[in-house]
Amino acid sequence: MSGAALVWFKRDLRLRDHAPLAEAQRFERALALFVIEPEWLDSPECDPQHVGFTLASLQPLQDELAALGLPLIVRVGPAPQVLQSLRAEFGFTHLLSHEETGTGWSYTRDIAVGRWCREHGVAWTEWPQTGVVRRLRSRSGWAGRWAQRMDAAPQRLDGGFRAPDGWAPTPLPTLADLGLPPSRPLPPAGEAAAQAVLDDFLDGRGRGYRRALSSPLTAEQGCSRLSAHLAFGTLSMRSVHQATEHVIATTPDRTLAYGLRGFSGRLRWHCHFMQKLEDEPDIEFRNFSRAHDTLRQEPLDRERFEAWCEGRTGYPMVDACMRQLRATGWLNFRMRAMLVSFAAYHLWLHWREPGLFLARQFLDFEPGIHWSQMQMQSGTTGINTLRIYSPRKQAEDHDPEGVYVRRWVPELGTPAYPAPIVDERGALAVAKERLYGLRGEREVRQEADAIQQRHGSRRSGLPPSGMKRAAKPRAAAAADDRQQELF
């Protein structure tokens, strides 16, 4: 194909199953680009671990692309300015990238890039890389569309690329070069590391997935640990789905197949929650249910918030989980949900500031899942069951011998450990009274129907008319409530 192509990498840091790369092979000339954007570095969700994991993933990708004749250029600056500068140097006619369901700054960035492309006659083509459907009109049939995408043949490269003369890969900056402090310790990054984690899980580690995922004692090894790789795109969702289904269909190990079926089903939920942010980007900043704007209006209680952030609430299971998260960048889903529940109900904190803090702690921060779950676990969607986790019960169920708590809260039982910051029974009584009272109002129930119509799951892809009227909001919302974790 005549013309010059620029492959714009974002959160798709891989070589395999990459539609923009496959398309770039058809052009006379091609380059690849990754932009380190100041808007990202300055965003309240960004943490040095995110940048460090990105840089560690870019290095092997850059080497592999160079071996195929495609230089990967890394530049720092606002995306439109970088594109303008690069076009003056490399006259590209086509911009090729994956769609991104990201936070507010990336949404604004994409609008600006689209405007720049139109003004400069550059054809910008985007491909989906998950089950998220852009400009979706109705959730009816979404599950079928997800399956169709995941079952389609993966994109494959056919030979090498034709780069313009004089171009070479750009040396990668360090965190210090970018003015960032050192990151917490990171797991291995890049496509090969991601594939090794997937292979290990499918080869046998996934055997105990269903039993292991709830307890912090067992989840660290029993869960897939693919969440960061999916968030940064070092593996495609489709490749994970197809590899998992292949093992389920071919393994003689029935226990392994049983565990992997549980994991496979959660891949759909991964995209289901991302779709909510794609359909309504404002949920990063405001309640799903605007009727819930009347709750938690008071200024953030800084003393409670900081105690929660620092793992010194006086509730050992809460504090242990927060300390593990801050030290490692990872925590299993049930314990994440407990942290949010405690902040929302026990401490009566609005979800936005706790959500930003957690976004910086999670190495696997995925905006669509994160903000959807922050609201779901805080009770502000208007359609989901209120899920209030008792820290004491979670400790009894998932750390009965206290092994986990002692590991992360060694001062427990000494004067150094604080008393509980709130009375659990009294705090929950107030929270329930406020939330259940609000949900009983007629206007709030009407709004919930509209939210369900736009964001709720659909059983077997049936339209709402195929369900009983009385069961529609609650049945589909209950399906959301069954969502566990894939991490």
CATH of the domain at 404: 1.10.579.10
Domain end marker among 276, 296, 331: 276
Q: Are residues 432 and 388 in the same domain?
A: yes
Q: Does residue 215 lie within any of the structural domains?
A: yes
Percent of the chain with pLDDT over 90: 82
CA–CA distance, 208 with 472 (Å, rounded to integer): 34
Overall domain count for the chain: 3
Instruction: Indicate the pTM of the whole model.
Output: 0.92
Sheet holding 29-36: strands in order across?
72-76, 29-36, 4-9, 94-98, 123-127
Residues 113 and 210 in one domain: no
Write out the residue range of the structural domain in which residue 317 sits: 282-455
Task: Report if residue 143 sits inside a domain.
Answer: no
Give how far Cα 451 sits from Cα of 144, 351, 444, 477, Å. 21, 19, 10, 10
Q: How far apart are CA 7 and CA 52, in angstroms?
A: 22
pLDDT of residue 458: 57
Residue 432 maps to a domain: yes
Q: What is the pLDDT of residue 445?
A: 77
Same domain, 219 and 290: no
Cβ neighbors of 10 (< 8 A, separation 6 or more) are 34, 97, 98, 100, 106, 233
Residues of the chain falling short of pLDDT 70: 457-487
Claim to verify: residue 121 and residue 257 sit in the same structural domain: no
Last residue of a domain, one of 71, 105, 127: 127
Q: Are 441 and 448 in contact (CB under 8 A)?
A: no
